[in-house]
């Protein structure tokens, strides 16, 4: 059935909605038209439950940040400006081409009226949905035009392409980003990312929700979506206030993750946090550190949220000259590597397991699924081959550092190639 069969386009409501859309009255104007016609209260939200407009009869209210919707059956609308709450029924707004335009929460009272025609109301919502979707598209086009310049600037920050601090701060002011405070980079990585199953849309929805959440915390978000990551440039206090900054960052991360629980479902983010830097030209270092911390948190420590400052020895090795680390690794392990290649004795794996299991022979044999005597034989062979004593702590530290360097090299390769 086409729309002309459902509506008489000379009737008041559809024409008024069309006029609202054409006149640029946006969400609030169209919602007010609906609410005036049906003498009702309603809240319009987008597809991530962010309030777009709130109207009560003839009035359309501002201060949308004080209107919250608790989605459910029934839903509850909290009006914190007027200190009221009311129950509502939710209607999903879907346009003719089946695009999701958002949600409309309507006060329950109108459904108790004997004169209320629910079928007629649903038909009205079909027209309203298309009008809202048209407004969504218009706004998205405007946002995307400005977003290209914003993203280019943030990419330049991420990769250290900007060197003049004065120019960086001047450009940042274009979007009201003040860079006088130190910033750290928080890098969120969506696990099991698959662009073919709509994960890019999922990340966009998360980012939109986070922008609103951060604004409520009086933070103007510097944020960028990059393949399977959302990257946040986060302002902190003085660089020396390590514990204070860490608590603030952890609290914000918890708040952001909580805000997207409905959107995220059973998916999860792994999060790395770099060190704070006072100058925009150095933010790229924080991003690199955030990725390193996240990679270590995933593969070694098992933590979903980790700070670069907490990754221990690898933090020092990361900052060291790669060529010197390369030479140290080969000076320490090459003789064992060559012996294993000739004999397949797996001496290196025995030594690695022995150090990983705190020099405990029983734990090492269990971890390697090998008899204790077989492990002992390999360790003795290492001592004879290299003329060392594995009960000597400096010797163990030397091998431990070599294995850490190996882990760092593999991790850098994974970050470079994007493969795990």
16-48 pLDDT, tens digit each: 888 888 888 888 889 989 998 888 999 999 888
CA separation, residue 132 to residues 128, 398, 412 (Å):
6, 65, 47
Would the CA dihedral through 55, 56, 61, 67 be positive or negative?
negative
Please tell me the predicted confidence (pLDDT) of residue 315: 64
Residue 418 has pLDDT above 80, yes or no: no
Write down the pLDDT at residue 413. Answer: 65
266-281 residues labelled b (16+ CB within 10 A) or e (exposed): eeebbbbbbbbbeebb
What is the rounded average pLDDT of the residues 318-332? Answer: 79
pLDDT of the residue at 179 = 93
Averaged over 337-358, what is the pLDDT? 89
Is the bond into 74 cis (omega within 30 degrees of 0)? yes
pLDDT value of position 147: 67
Mean pLDDT of the chain: 85
Contact 286, 184 (CB under 8 A): yes
pLDDT (tens digit per residue) in 218-242: 899 999 999 999 999 999 999 988 8
Joined together, the tokens standing for residue 145 give 């035009």
Q: What is the percentage of the chain residues whose pLDDT exceeds 70?
A: 89
pLDDT for position 391: 86
φ, ψ of residue 270 in degrees (nearest 5): -105, 140
- What pLDDT shows up at residue 268? 93
- pLDDT of 228 reads 93
Picking from 417, 162, 163, the residue whose alpha carbon sits closest to that of residue 291 is 417
Q: Are 211 and 227 in contact (CB under 8 A)?
A: no
Structure tokens at 81: 């400006």
Q: What is the mean pLDDT of residues 341-369?
A: 90
The pLDDT assigned to 141 comes to 74
**Which pLDDT does position 47 carry in this prediction?**
84
Distance CA 151, CA 262 (A): 27
Per-residue model confidence (pLDDT) at position 2? 44
pLDDT digits (tens, 9 = 90+) for 139-148: 777 666 666 7
- Give the best-scoring range by mean pLDDT among 133-142, 294-303, 390-399: 390-399
* pLDDT confidence bin for 91, thresholds 50/70/90: very high
Q: What is the pLDDT of residue 254?
A: 96
Calculate mean pLDDT across residues 101-129: 89
Q: What mean pLDDT is predicted for residues 342-350?
A: 88
* β pairing state of 100-107 and 41-45: antiparallel
Query: Per the confidence metrics, is the pTM higher than 0.75?
Result: no
pLDDT of 252 above 90? yes
Please give the average per-residue pLDDT across 101-130, as a whole number: 89
Residue 193 reports pLDDT greater than 60:
yes
Tell me what pLDDT residue 8 has.
Answer: 46
Instruction: Return the minimum-mean-pLDDT range out of 50-59, 272-281, 298-307, 409-418.
Output: 409-418
- In which band, very low, low, confident or very high, does the pLDDT at 345 lie, cut at 50, 70 and 90? confident
Alpha helices, DSSP H only, in 188-274? 199-216, 242-259, 261-264
pLDDT at 6: 44
């Amino acid at each position: 059935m086409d729309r002309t069969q459902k509506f008489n386009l000379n009737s008041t409501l559809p024409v008024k909605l069309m006029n609202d859309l054409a006149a640029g009255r946006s969400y609030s104007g169209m919602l007010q038209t609906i609410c005036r016609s049906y003498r009702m209260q309603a809240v319009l939200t987008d597809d991530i439950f962010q309030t777009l407009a709130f109207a009560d009869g003839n009035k359309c209210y501002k201060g949308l940040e004080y209107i919250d919707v608790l989605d459910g059956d029934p839903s509850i609308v909290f009006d914190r400006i007027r200190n009221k709450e009311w129950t509502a029924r939710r209607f999903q707004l879907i346009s003719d081409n089946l695009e999701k335009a958002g949600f409309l929460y309507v006060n329950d009272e109108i459904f108790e009226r004997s004169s209320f025609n629910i079928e007629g109301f649903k038909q009205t919502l079909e027209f309203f949905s298309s009008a809202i979707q048209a407004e969504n598209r218009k706004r998205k086009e405007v946002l995307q035009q400005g977003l290209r310049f914003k993203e280019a600037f943030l990419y330049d920050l991420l990769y250290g392409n900007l060197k003049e601090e004065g120019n960086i701060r001047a450009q940042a002011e274009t979007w009201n980003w003040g860079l006088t405070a130190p910033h750290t980079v928080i890098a969120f990585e969506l696990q099991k990312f698959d662009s073919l199953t709509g994960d890019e849309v999922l990340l966009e929805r998360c980012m939109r929700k986070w922008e609103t959440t951060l604004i409520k915390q009086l933070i103007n978000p510097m944020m960028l979506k990059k393949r399977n990551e959302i990257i946040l440039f986060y302002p902190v206090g003085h660089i020396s206030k390590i514990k204070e900054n860490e608590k603030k960052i952890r609290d914000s991360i918890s708040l952001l993750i909580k805000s997207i629980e409905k959107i995220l479902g059973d998916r999860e983010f792994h999060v790395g946090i770099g060190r704070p830097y006072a100058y925009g030209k150095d933010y790229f270092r924080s991003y690199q550190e955030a990725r390193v911390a996240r990679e270590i948190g995933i593969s070694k420590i098992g933590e979903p949220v980790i700070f670069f400052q907490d990754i221990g020895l690898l933090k020092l090795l990361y900052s060291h000259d790669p060529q010197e680390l390369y030479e140290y690794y080969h000076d320490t392990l090459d003789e064992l590597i060559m012996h294993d290649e000739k004999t397949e004795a797996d001496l290196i794996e025995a030594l690695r397991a022995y150090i990983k299991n705190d020099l405990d022979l029983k734990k090492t044999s269990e971890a390697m699924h090998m008899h204790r005597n077989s492990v002992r034989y390999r360790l003795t062979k290492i001592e004879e081959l290299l003329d060392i004593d594995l009960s000597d702590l400096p010797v163990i530290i030397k091998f431990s550092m070599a294995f850490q360097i190996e882990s760092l090299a593999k991790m850098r390769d994974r970050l470079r190639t994007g493969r795990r």
